Amino acid sequence: MFSGIVQSIGSVAQIERRDGDVRLTIVARDFALDEVKLGDSIAVAGVCLTVVEIDAAQFAFDVSVETLNRTTLGALRPGAGVNLEKALRLADRLDGHLVSGHVDGVGRVVAIESEARSQRWTFEAPPALAKYIATKGSIAIDGTSLTVNEVDGARFGVNLIPHTIAVTTFQDRRVGDAVNLEADMIARYVERLLRG
């Protein structure tokens, strides 16, 4: 589990094709890698991955075909920035919201507008995912915990304060870019219970 509070921006060092899937290596110089061990879960652009190699400045993950097909990780290129977050410990503060790192779908940036010192961003979600997004609910975008301001069909808006833009990959995002979306997990469980 994660909180959606990004701890660092890593950089893709290498993408190694291996029998249909990928070994993804990330450089993470300011991520306190001395606290990370083999087998740990790390959210990479909002996707929960397992550390399979580690050294002083970088770590690697095996990424399955399923994950490559359902997230933006399949489109990554060397040098691309990715949001990073270590898994929560039971004693940690929960500053964002509960995030599983199980991406529900890929959305797109539709608009970016200035609003005082903040920016109002509009995204479009896949239609099947849009029903889980609620006004004033939580959503994780590329692993960043955000509050939904409004919903209009498959489109929804959030506000980004300057700090969030500065410490996440939103600083590099543009209109048209693809992003990983994870809806608030409570919505999925409520739907499942109602179906029963």
pLDDT recorded at residue 174: 98
* Phi, psi angle pair for 103, to nearest 5°: -65, 135
The token duo for 140 is: 């994780």
pTM, 2 dp: 0.94
DSSP state of 78: T
pLDDT at 191: 75
Q: Do domains 8-86 and 105-195 have the same CATH topology?
A: yes
Contact 194, 188 (CB under 8 A): no
pLDDT tens by residue, 18-71: 998 999 999 998 888 888 999 999 999 999 999 999 998 899 999 999 999 999
Rounded to 5°, angle at Cα 57 from 52 and 62: 20
Helix (H, G, I), strand (E, B), or coil: what is residue 178? Answer: strand
Domain 105-195 has CATH 1.10.287.130: no
- Dist. CA 191–CA 196, nearest whole Å: 9
Choose among 70, 72, 96, 104: nearest CA to 191: 104
Q: Which pLDDT does position 94 carry in this prediction?
A: 74
> Would you state the pLDDT for residue 97?
84
Q: Domain ranges for the chain, please list them.
A: 8-86, 105-195
Instruction: Give the pLDDT score at 131.
Output: 92
Q: Which CATH code, of 3.40.50.970, 3.40.50.300, 2.40.30.20, 3.30.750.24, is assigned to 8-86?
A: 2.40.30.20
Give strand pairing partners of 144: 141
Contact 89, 1 (CB under 8 A): no
Q: What residue type is assigned to position 46 of the chain?
A: G
DSSP 4-50: S---EEEEEEEEEEETTEEEEEEE-TTS-GGG--TT-EEEETTEEEE
pLDDT in tens, the chain (196 residues): 999 999 999 999 999 999 989 999 999 988 888 889 999 999 999 999 999 999 988 999 999 999 999 999 999 999 999 999 999 887 777 787 888 999 999 999 999 999 999 999 999 999 999 999 999 999 999 999 999 999 999 999 999 999 999 999 999 999 999 999 999 888 777 777 888 7
